[in-house]
């Protein structure tokens, strides 16, 4: 009899936990819906592409802002490939040495 009571108590707690999760999901969905309503209609991807193209064209016509030159470096370093490219913080496996 005691095992049955323990089992039913556990089932009741699981049901309450599931109900609480369901309430949380509903509140999150409601909050997202209200945010979307406050923002209005979503932006048209074609409109965004058109605006972005306009911004890039304006930047190309006006050049770099003063005090921030963006000209590429001159010299032979530009065309030489790097023998050991940077790892960007990742460990690379050791490469076997050739000719040894």
pLDDT in tens, the chain (100 residues): 888 888 888 888 888 888 888 899 999 999 998 988 887 777 788 988 999 999 999 988 887 666 665 555 555 555 555 555 555 555 555 555 555 4
Domain ranges for the chain: 2-62
**Opening angle at CA 35, ends 32 and 36, nearest 5:** 90
Q: Cα(first)–Cα(last) distance of the chain, in Å?
A: 78
Contact at 8 Å (CB) between 10 and 4? no
The pTM assigned to this predicted structure is 0.32
Residue 44's φ and ψ, nearest 5 degrees, are -75, 130
């Amino acid at each position: 009899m005691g095992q049955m009571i323990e089992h039913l108590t556990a089932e009741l707690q699981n049901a309450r936990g599931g109900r609480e999760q369901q309430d949380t999901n509903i509140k999150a969905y409601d909050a997202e819906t209200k945010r979307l309503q406050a923002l209005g209609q979503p932006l048209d991807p074609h409109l965004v592409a058109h605006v972005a193209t306009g911004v890039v064209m304006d930047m190309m016509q006006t050049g770099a802002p003063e005090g921030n030159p963006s000209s590429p470096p001159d010299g032979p370093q530009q065309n030489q490939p790097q023998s050991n490219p940077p790892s960007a913080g990742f460990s690379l496996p050791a490469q076997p040495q050739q000719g040894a």
